Structure 1
Amino acid sequence: MQLDAMRTVLDALPIAVAFVDADERVRIANRACAAILGPAPEGRTCSALLRHPEFLGGLEASLSGDKTHVKRLILTAGGNETHLTVTFTPMITTTVKGVLVAFEDLTPIEQAGVMRRDFVANVSHELRTPLTALVGFIETLRGAARDDPAARDRFLGIMEREAGRMIRLVSDLLSLSRVEAEERRRPANEVDIAVLLKTLLESHRETAASGGIDLRLEMAEGPVRLRADGDQLTQVFHNLVENAIKYGGGGKEVMIRVTELQHEPVLKGAAIQVEVIDRGEGIGPLHLPRLTERFYRVDTHRSREQGGTGLGLAIVKHIVNRHRGRLKIESEPGKGSKFIIILPKT
């Protein structure tokens, strides 16, 4: 194969591929190579582009023999790791002997594996804590507290609370699993979000009033219809209003504001914007990008004391994604928080 023909073929490939000659100099590098070897790698030696012992060893082995070699590399740059499988295949063109080097990026697969391991570890930790408490109290009730009615009542109350926490965790895990399974299927039903929000606020009004919190709904009169799954949207706003009451209720006001947008630039069409606003403590900027991660909590102890599972905002994010909408979070310490849901009307 001529080098010009090879260049045409390699440029059409979606993965990074380069042809290296016997002097270990890059003769051809397709466009995808720039992400690994840097810009304009052609004409430069491999040792100057990628000084990795496994890479250079695989290259030399293929140049000195006629066998294909495969190496695994981990490259670190800017605090991020890139995992690569590199295949070295000896090749002779009409004029040059060399090696075809193909880079397969395994980073997304590795990241998915890390996420699975972290998820299992987090679930195990969240379940182990209440289970350990339950076992300890059961042993105490069978022993020292067997004939102590006051201690028995106190321990049973704690056991009930811990069991409820496990039930909420399992319920949220099942909910998250269902939402993820349906995420690619967009809802087909029509929902009046005005009715949905009024009903939701009535269900929270007693809890809010017990904490001296005023729940307000600000929106135009009349129905506000959009294409949505009513049950899932109820879950979204239930989670957001409940969080606002628990963690932002210090400001003594939680407001839901509904606005109809004639044209939302990102969604490229008409949309409904729903803001859940509290006047509480606010959230620091370091926490904002991570709020929708599973089991991420700004204040772990306080969240557990309030009965939180750390999954509520992850569920919100996936439901909003299913509706092809947007979730924005704005907050400053001491100035409260604003959770903004933007949903397309059609």
Structure 2
Amino acid sequence: MAEAKRERQGRRWGRLVAGRLNQNRWMLAAGVLAVLVVYSIAEESTFFVVVCIAALFVAAAVAPRRTARQRRAEAAAVGERSALERLSGENLAAAVADPLILFDGAGTVVHANDAALDAFAAVGPGISLQLKFRAPEMQELIAATLAGNGSPQVADYVERVPIERVYRVTGSAIGRGTGLYVLVFKDQSEARRIDRMRADFIANASHELRTPLASIAGFVETLRGPARKDAAARDHFLQIMQNQTSRMARLIDDLLSLSRLEMKPYLKPGTRVDLRAVVQGVIDSLSPLASESGVAIETDIPDGPFEVPGDRDELFQVFENLLENACKYGQSGGRVTVSMENMETGPQREVAVTIHDFGPGIPEEHIPRITERFYRVDVETSRAQKGTGLGLSIVKHILTRHNGRLSIKSKVGEGAAFTVHLPAG
């Protein structure tokens, strides 16, 4: 048994040594040739030659052997280099989603990808960049890029036709000695719009809170001074202060509602809600307000299922805001109608709920902006009706979470119709 084991080990080592020798045969041959050359020149002894050749065989046998994984990695690297060499500049430019323009040392366009052609008209090969982009910041950027100080150049550029777009433009040389340069345009329009909205929101919220606070502070000072002993004035001022604190409380509640809605992810279909019950509940809760405003609420809701996936409390808030606005701002019309119907919009069925008042209506130029935060058609009327300017913005956010939408139709003198569209499937 021991002899058989030693024999197997001997054969295994023999195969290993043969494999190493075969793999390193070129190194071995070169070494033997070098020894023979030295022998012929220096006339060394035969024993010296034999020793050197034996040492070469041992070195070749024990030299590290490349594994199959290493060979595959080397082959893959060669394949990648071949693939990169086959790529052209046009293919690389087409793979970039942002507008990209290649130009030469004279500032002439060599190539523009599809995104650049869509963003900037007439920017094909042969066009001079200095003539195409006449803004001072772009002229300076192109000149600095062509000067070639070794670092990328960056500038902000505004394209105003056909619509205003803001870009962060980066210019740099391509490689060394190619004589080619590149401009990459990163669209910053959406980020700038969000920044402006955030700044406007903070300014409007501060203004809305500052006004009642200033009023309350003034009345407190008056009550502590000239009106300290005037009972009638004290009651009048205290009533105004109560109204102002109620207004601030409503504003804070609406701001918190917006904040909670923005922090929630989009609603996934789950619980189904009966819109008929939700709308009827809203009508019942606002009946006292309608009576106080002299408005009659009329309904046109046919029989049939009106279920949609969603959150009942949030949908209740949607219709409560819309019906309350209709009663307040459309009270001159004397009535408000609430209708509901199933609609087929392509492959998907949806439920449409329309709340229509017959008041003064909304001028057409205000309709696109009416769901913006703090946007008011008539500031004095809104404040007189204790509005915060956030109700329709909350409605839009809730409908967006429910994959729904709000459509508005209005004519001055004929009232306004707000329609909520919610997917039924």
When the two structures are superposed, what TM-score results if normalisation uses the length of structure 1? 0.94
- Residue among 383, 391, 404 paired with 1:325: 404
> In the alignment, is the contact (CA less than 8 A) between 1:59 and 1:88 conserved in 2?
yes
- Residue among 86, 104, 109 paired with 1:21: 104
Instruction: Tell me the secondary structure at the aligned position of residue 67 of structure 1.
Output: coil
Q: Does 1:87 align with 2:166?
A: no
- Residues 210 and 20 of structure 1, relative CA distance in 2, 3 Å threshold: same
**Aligned residue for 1:315?**
394
| Structure 1 position 107, deviation (Å) | 1.7
- Residues 204 and 333 of structure 1, relative CA distance in 2, 3 Å threshold: same
**Aligned residue for 1:31?**
114
**Aligned residue for 1:207?**
289
Gaps of 5+ in 2: 1-83
Cα distance between partner residues in 1 of 2:222 and 2:382: 27
1:1-346 equivalences in 2 (<5 Å): 5-78=88-161, 81-92=164-175, 96-221=178-303, 223-261=305-343, 263-265=344-346, 268-346=347-425
- Residues 86 and 222 of structure 1, relative CA distance in 2, 3 Å threshold: closer
Cα distance between partner residues in 2 of 1:84 and 1:332: 39
**Aligned residue for 2:52?**
none
Per-residue Cα deviation, 1:303-345 (whole angstroms, up to 9, x for no partner): 0111000000001111111111121000000111100001001
Instruction: Tell me the secondary structure at the aligned position of residue 237 of structure 1.
Output: helix
Deviates further, 220-229 or 275-284 = 220-229
> In the alignment, is the contact (CA less than 8 A) between 1:37 and 1:50 conserved in 2?
no
> In the alignment, is the contact (CA less than 8 A) between 2:123 and 2:132 conserved in 1?
no
Cα distance between partner residues in 2 of 1:79 and 1:143: 61
> In the alignment, is the contact (CA less than 8 A) between 2:270 and 2:309 conserved in 1?
yes
- Residues 81 and 71 of structure 1, relative CA distance in 2, 3 Å threshold: farther
> In the alignment, is the contact (CA less than 8 A) between 1:74 and 1:81 conserved in 2?
no
> In the alignment, is the contact (CA less than 8 A) between 2:109 and 2:123 conserved in 1?
no
Matched letter for residue 264 of structure 1: T
| Structure 1 position 183, deviation (Å) | 4.6
How many residues of Structure 1 are paired with residues of Structure 2 in the alignment? 342
| Structure 1 position 103, deviation (Å) | 1.2
Instruction: Tell me the secondary structure at the aligned position of residue 341 of structure 2.
Output: strand
Cα distance between partner residues in 1 of 2:127 and 2:156: 20
Instruction: Tell me the secondary structure at the aligned position of residue 24 of structure 1.
Output: coil
Cα distance between partner residues in 2 of 1:222 and 1:167: 40
Gaps of 5+ in 1: none
Instruction: Tell me the secondary structure at the aligned position of residue 74 of structure 1.
Output: strand
Cα distance between partner residues in 1 of 2:97 and 2:135: 23
Instruction: Tell me the secondary structure at the aligned position of residue 330 of structure 2.
Output: helix
**Aligned residue for 2:17?**
none
- Residues 70 and 45 of structure 1, relative CA distance in 2, 3 Å threshold: same
Larger radius of gyration: 2
- Residues 177 and 237 of structure 1, relative CA distance in 2, 3 Å threshold: same
Cα distance between partner residues in 1 of 2:121 and 2:242: 59
Report the RMSD for the aligned CA atoms in angstroms: 1.9
**Aligned residue for 2:23?**
none
Cα distance between partner residues in 1 of 2:95 and 2:159: 28
Cα distance between partner residues in 2 of 1:3 and 1:17: 21
Structure 1 segments of 4 or more deviating over 6 A?
1-4
Cα distance between partner residues in 2 of 1:9 and 1:308: 55
Per-residue Cα deviation, 1:162-198 (whole angstroms, up to 9, x for no partner): 0000000000001111112225233521111111111
Higher strand share: 1
- Residues 79 and 293 of structure 1, relative CA distance in 2, 3 Å threshold: farther
Instruction: Tell me the secondary structure at the aligned position of residue 260 of structure 1.
Output: strand
Instruction: Tell me the secondary structure at the aligned position of residue 294 of structure 1.
Output: coil
Cα distance between partner residues in 2 of 1:142 and 1:66: 70
Cα distance between partner residues in 2 of 1:286 and 1:239: 22
**Aligned residue for 2:63?**
none
Cα distance between partner residues in 1 of 2:250 and 2:111: 57
> In the alignment, is the contact (CA less than 8 A) between 1:61 and 1:69 conserved in 2?
no
- Residues 92 and 182 of structure 1, relative CA distance in 2, 3 Å threshold: closer
Higher RCO (CA-CA < 8 Å; seq separation 6+):
1
> In the alignment, is the contact (CA less than 8 A) between 2:103 and 2:182 conserved in 1?
yes
Cα distance between partner residues in 1 of 2:270 and 2:127: 56
| Structure 1 position 4, deviation (Å) | 7.3
Identity value in percent: 37
